[in-house]
Amino acid sequence: MSTTVEAASARRLSLRIDGWEGHLAGQHVDVRLTAPDGYQAQRSYSIASAPESPTVDLVVQRVADGEVSPYLVDELRVGDELELRGPIGGYFVWHPDVDSPLQLVAGGSGVAPFLAVLDHHAAIRSSVPVRLLCSARTLDDVIGAERLEGHADRGVAVTIALTRGAPPGWTGLRGRVEPATIRQHTLPVEQQPRILVCGPTTFVEAVADGLVDDGHPPAAIKIERFG
């Protein structure tokens, strides 16, 4: 295992797993921790690396007062043991064999599975148009910022909305993702995009409602709630 800082409050855990049989972009794993006294806690984490990656990467954002995430972000050390189950989930995945354009909408750590989707899109040189609308508190909180820049450089339309203040000269969006933001900064209904929305429950539900109000068919929208 190796770890990298991904954002102000997030860490990427890159795991080499013997016998890993591969995953699809969008799937997650369950991580179980066991304390010396036998107490166990389990949480789900999206796989943030492409199926082509030699490592299975998770990007964990510290939730203040959380039980598991502060440990994974601040305390986990190389050599510590993690119990992993997965890959899990066949619904919230991107299948590159369909030509429809792809719209991704992420709130906070909800961008994690989309890092896998975008890396996969790049690895297979997919010509499917992709657009990402990503909300974060500040620029320092944007998870995978460098990777997102790289994807923007190769033609992915990346829009970042900062909810709690932007640095001087910021040309992206400011404020929460409102219905008007969704309308202006996502693929239009006429393009019949497939849409993946991921993040905290309230964010995901508000975005999905906005997309349906704009005329996107509910069947085209898949959501993943992070709780």
Ligand X SMILES: Cc1cc2nc3c(=O)[nH]c(=O)nc-3n(C[C@H](O)[C@H](O)[C@H](O)COP(=O)(O)OP(=O)(O)OC[C@H]3O[C@@H](n4cnc5c(N)ncnc54)[C@H](O)[C@@H]3O)c2cc1C
- Asked if 159 is part of the footprint of ligand X (rule: CB under 6 A), the reply reads no
- The answer to whether 76 contacts ligand X (rule: CB under 6 A) is no
Q: How far is CA 185 from the centre of its chain?
A: 18
Give the nearer residue to ligand X in terms of CB position, either 52 or 67. Answer: 67
Q: How far is the CB of 22 from ligand X (least distance, A)?
A: 18
Q: Are 14 and 48 in contact (CB under 8 A)?
A: no
Cβ proximity to ligand X: between 143 and 160 the closer is 143
Please choose, out of 65-73, 124-132, 152-160, 181-189, the segment that lies near ligand X by the rule CB under 6 A.
65-73
Q: How far is CA 113 from CA 45, 94, 173, 179, 199, in A?
A: 9, 10, 22, 23, 10
Angle (CA) 133 26 189, round 5°: 45
In this structure, the strands spanning 102-107 and 130-136 are: parallel
Residue 100 DSSP code = S
Residue (43 or 216) nearer to ligand X, CB: 43
CA atoms of 50 and 119, how far apart (whole Å) = 5
Among 23, 45, 50, 196, binds ligand X (CB under 6 A): 45
Selected from 24, 25, 56, 63, the binder of ligand X by CB under 6 A is: 63
Residue 63 per-residue DSSP state: P
Which is nearest to 121 in space by CA: 133, 110, 129? 129
- Asked if 56 touches ligand X (CB under 6 A), the answer is no
Which listed range, 59-67, 77-85, 118-126, 212-220, lies at the site for ligand X (CB under 6 A)?
59-67
Among 25, 112, 160, 195, binds ligand X (CB under 6 A): 112
């993690």: which residue's tokens?
Answer: 82
Residues 14, 44, 55, 163: which binds ligand X (CB under 6 A)?
44
Q: What does the DSSP 8-state code read for residue 219?
A: G
Identity of the residue numbered 118: L
Binding mask 186-225 for ligand X (x = CB under 6 A): --------------x-----------------------x-
Quick one: 53 exposed, middle or buried, by C-beta within 10 A (0-12, 13-18, 19+)? Answer: middle
12 forms part of the interface with ligand X (CB under 6 A):
no
Q: Does 101 bind ligand X (CB under 6 A)?
A: no
Q: Is 109 in the site for ligand X (CB under 6 A)?
A: yes
What residue ranges bind ligand X (CB under 6 A)? Answer: 28, 43-46, 59-61, 63, 65-69, 109, 112, 200, 224, 226-227
